[in-house]
């Protein structure tokens, strides 16, 4: 149902009743909509109560400036926050949450419309945005991410209104935007608004189709696998139970990367039929979850992170056990020739014979969720080989030696914090991935084999002479054995030249040791000052 239809629905139903023109069959054949009429009435009432002092309600029940835009849940929440900060809106936190839910359900984005920019929604750190339009990026992605723009839908006139808001609110915007090289105001209101309206219009087939797709209840038994950066792979199950209105209770039963059993609880809300926003607690650590359900509602993917350190977390894949079957992950994802290795196959509904191409396999334990085995390979064939459980197939990297390493992110940022201030430190998490040069023996070619995370030792050093002169490596912070760089405290440091703060320009060095062979790889790390404004969509 489109928003317009949704808004007209009660009127049409009333008309049907009044004219007795619609047959009983017509009413019956209408499937239960994702957003019911009662919810629409309640949502409209919320806008009326909280917003209509400034946003006029039209005859067709739309509200000026509100009904002509679609945004993500985070986008709506930031919008309401902006109304509070800029325009003095006062709203209870219950109404704010209910409005974010209502607006995301009726004026949200379809799964395909958020796909290209989920990294930013998931608050991944140290990424370089992909999928950006260069013209728009040079105008609109210098103060905030491109995703903030690309995660909204509106027509040209509404994009122009947004430009006016920018001009009015930030009087220096034209100077900031290199006004000498361009007429920012004219471009923004002209060709840029035009292009934005074409690329990101209010009405799209994707959103119409998504509103007419059945939004599945998430309750059930789920299998979950994931990787926590700097720590390793985990797996387990989630029992999701509905608590009404698209909210859920979650019970986790996991096996940690260290192999211990971890249980915990969480709760979540699903916006727009697929945007899972969860809060959980495991072993005393509070996490947040930003996941997206697949179109059929039978799988979820996304990122989790620590409540107070959004930079620390990892990725998950979850499958609904009643509707899926197959291999989800192989841990570890590579097997070294000649070395007996324990391997875990995680999946749903696994059964049958287990084999690895070119390796001898001994199954140690097998359930429908998980097969644990030991494998020994003689090294031929090298490369991605088949790993099979019954009819389910996946791949495993077979190699003879780790030939080189890569450290990710290649360019990381950490931020000082604490030191009596309110902003916590922002850590930087590094990971080392091993590679084999592959059959051709040449590094950096197509046949190179990604061997997954490899164990390394970590150290930091001054990035260059200027950093050495300031002794950055001594003051800027420390890296842990799991590749987490923890910056030093905020504020001036009397021990440093000019009593400067604990910022620094560093290189991060990973060293992999195999017998008497040492491999190293480096990344660049800027340890810098705090960000004072940390909105959910940077």
Least distance CB 177 / ligand HEC (angstroms): 5
Q: Would you count residue 165 as binding ligand HEC (CB under 6 A)?
A: yes
Query: What residues from 171 to 190 belong to the interface with ligand HEC (CB under 6 A)?
Result: 173, 176-177, 188
Among 3, 6, 40, 66, binds ligand HEC (CB under 6 A): 66
Q: Would you count residue 531 as binding ligand HEC (CB under 6 A)?
A: no
CA triple 113-115-118, angle to 5 deg:
120
Q: Would you count residue 3 as binding ligand HEC (CB under 6 A)?
A: no
Q: Would you count residue 307 as binding ligand HEC (CB under 6 A)?
A: no
Q: Which of 50-58, 269-277, 492-500, 504-512 is the region at the interface with ligand HEC (rule: CB under 6 A)? A: 50-58
With CA atoms as reference, report the closest residue to 191 among 132, 144, 114, 133. 133
Which is closer to ligand HEC, CB of 139 or CB of 238?
A: 139
146: helix, strand or coil: coil
Which is closer to ligand HEC, CB of 69 or CB of 270?
A: 69
| Cis, peptide link before residue 182, omega less than 30° from 0 | no
Among 101, 117, 124, 148, binds ligand HEC (CB under 6 A): 148
Identify the H or E element spanning 525.
strand 517-528
| Neighbour count for residue 172 (Cβ, 10 Å) | 8
Which is closer to ligand HEC, CB of 139 or CB of 473?
A: 139
Q: Would you count residue 457 as binding ligand HEC (CB under 6 A)?
A: no
Q: Is 91:81 a contact under the CB 8 Å cutoff?
A: no
Among 11, 86, 175, 411, binds ligand HEC (CB under 6 A): 86
Gap between the Cα atoms of 263 and 261, Å rounded: 7
Query: What residues from 194 to 223 belong to the interface with ligand HEC (CB under 6 A)?
Result: 196
Rg (C-alpha) for the chain, rounded Å, is 27
286: helix, strand or coil: strand
Q: What φ, ψ does residue 494 adopt, rounded to 5°? A: -60, -25
Q: Would you count residue 100 as binding ligand HEC (CB under 6 A)?
A: no
Query: What residues from 114 to 143 belong to the interface with ligand HEC (CB under 6 A)?
Result: 139-140, 142-143
Residue 63 DSSP one-character state = B
Among 53, 424, 441, 492, binds ligand HEC (CB under 6 A): 53
Least distance CB 120 / ligand HEC (angstroms): 12
Among 59, 88, 367, 494, binds ligand HEC (CB under 6 A): 88
| Cis, peptide link before residue 332, omega less than 30° from 0 | yes
Which is closer to ligand HEC, CB of 139 or CB of 343?
A: 139
| Residues linked to residue 142 through DSSP beta bridges, in sequence order | none
Q: Would you count residue 162 as binding ligand HEC (CB under 6 A)?
A: yes
Q: Would you count residue 394 as binding ligand HEC (CB under 6 A)?
A: no
Residue 189 DSSP one-character state = I
Residue 190 DSSP one-character state = I
Among 1, 22, 54, 262, binds ligand HEC (CB under 6 A): 54
Q: Would you count residue 257 as binding ligand HEC (CB under 6 A)?
A: no
Q: Would you count residue 91 as binding ligand HEC (CB under 6 A)?
A: yes
HEC string of 248-284 equals EEEEEEEECCCCCEEEEEEEEEEECCCEEEEEEEECC
Q: Which of 19-27, 78-86, 120-128, 502-510 is the region at the interface with ligand HEC (rule: CB under 6 A)? A: 78-86
Token pair 């325009």 in the structure block, residue: 87
Least distance CB 533 / ligand HEC (angstroms): 6
Q: Would you state the structure tokens that stand for residue 375, as one six-digit string?
A: 């494998």
Which strands, in side-by-side order, build the sheet including 334-336? 334-336, 392-399, 383-389, 354-356
Gap between the Cα atoms of 380 and 395, Å rounded: 15
Gap between the Cα atoms of 341 and 352, Å rounded: 21
Q: Is 343:396 a contact under the CB 8 Å cutoff?
A: yes
Among 10, 48, 137, 166, binds ligand HEC (CB under 6 A): 166
Which is closer to ligand HEC, CB of 166 or CB of 295?
A: 166
Site residues, ligand HEC (CB under 6 A): 50-51, 53-55, 65-66, 69, 75, 78-80, 82-83, 86-89, 91, 99, 139-140, 142-144, 148-149, 152, 161-163, 165-166, 170, 173, 176-177, 188, 192, 196, 535
């Amino acid at each position: 149902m489109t928003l317009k239809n949704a808004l007209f629905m009660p009127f049409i139903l009333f008309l049907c009743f009044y004219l007795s023109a619609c047959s009983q069959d017509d009413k019956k054949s209408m499937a239960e909509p994702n957003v019911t009429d009662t919810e629409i009435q309640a949502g409209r009432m919320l806008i009326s109560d909280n917003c209509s002092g400034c946003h006029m309600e039209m005859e067709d029940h739309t509200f000026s400036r509100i009904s002509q835009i679609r945004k993500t849940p985070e986008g709506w929440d930031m919008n309401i926050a902006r109304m509070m900060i800029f325009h003095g809106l006062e709203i209870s936190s219950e109404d704010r949450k209910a409005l974010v839910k209502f607006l995301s359900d009726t004026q949200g984005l379809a799964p395909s419309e958020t796909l290209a920019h989920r990294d930013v929604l998931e608050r991944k750190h140290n990424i370089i945005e992909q999928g950006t339009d260069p013209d728009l990026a040079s105008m609109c992605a210098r103060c905030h991410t491109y995703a903030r723009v690309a995660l909204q839908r509106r027509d040209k006139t509404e994009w122009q209104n947004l430009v006016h808001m920018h001009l009015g609110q930030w009087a220096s915007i034209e100077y900031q935007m290199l006004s000498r090289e361009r007429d920012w105001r004219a471009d923004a209101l002209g060709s840029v608004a035009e292009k934005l309206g074409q690329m990101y219009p209010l009405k799209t087939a994707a959103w119409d189709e998504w509103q007419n797709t059945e939004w599945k209840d998430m309750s059930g038994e789920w299998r979950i696998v994931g990787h926590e950066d700097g720590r390793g792979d985990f797996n387990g199950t989630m029992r999701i139970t509905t608590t009404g209105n698209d909210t859920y209770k979650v019970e986790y039963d996991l096996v940690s990367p260290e192999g211990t059993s971890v249980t915990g609880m969480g709760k979540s809300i699903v916006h727009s039929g697929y945007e899972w926003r969860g809060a959980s607690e495991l072993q005393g650590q509070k996490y947040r979850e930003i996941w997206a359900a697949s179109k059929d509602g039978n799988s979820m993917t996304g990122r989790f992170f620590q409540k107070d350190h959004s930079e620390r977390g990892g990725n998950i894949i979850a499958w609904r056990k009643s509707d899926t079957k197959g291999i989800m992950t192989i841990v570890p994802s590579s097997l070294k020739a000649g070395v007996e290795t324990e391997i875990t196959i995680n999946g749903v509904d696994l059964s049958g014979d287990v084999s690895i191409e070119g390796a001898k396999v001994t199954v140690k334990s097998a359930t429908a969720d998980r097969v644990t085995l030991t494998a020994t390979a003689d090294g031929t064939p090298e490369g991605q080989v088949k790993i099979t459980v019954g009819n389910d197939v996946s791949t495993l990297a077979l190699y003879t030696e780790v030939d080189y390493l890569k450290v990710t992110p290649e360019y990381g940022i950490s931020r000082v914090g604490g030191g009596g201030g309110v902003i916590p430190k922002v850590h930087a998490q590094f990971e080392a991935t091993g590679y084999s040069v592959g059959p051709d023996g040449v590094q950096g070619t197509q046949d190179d084999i990604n061997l997954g995370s490899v164990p390394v030792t970590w150290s930091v050093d001054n990035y260059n002479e200027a950093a050495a002169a300031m002794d950055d490596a001594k003051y800027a912070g420390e890296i842990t054995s799991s590749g987490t760089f923890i910056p030093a405290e905020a504020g001036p440091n009397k021990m440093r030249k000019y009593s400067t703060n604990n910022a620094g320009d560093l290189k991060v060095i990973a060293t992999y040791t195999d017998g008497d062979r040492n491999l190293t790889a480096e990344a660049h790390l800027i340890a810098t000052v705090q960000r004072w404004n940390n909105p959910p969509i940077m």
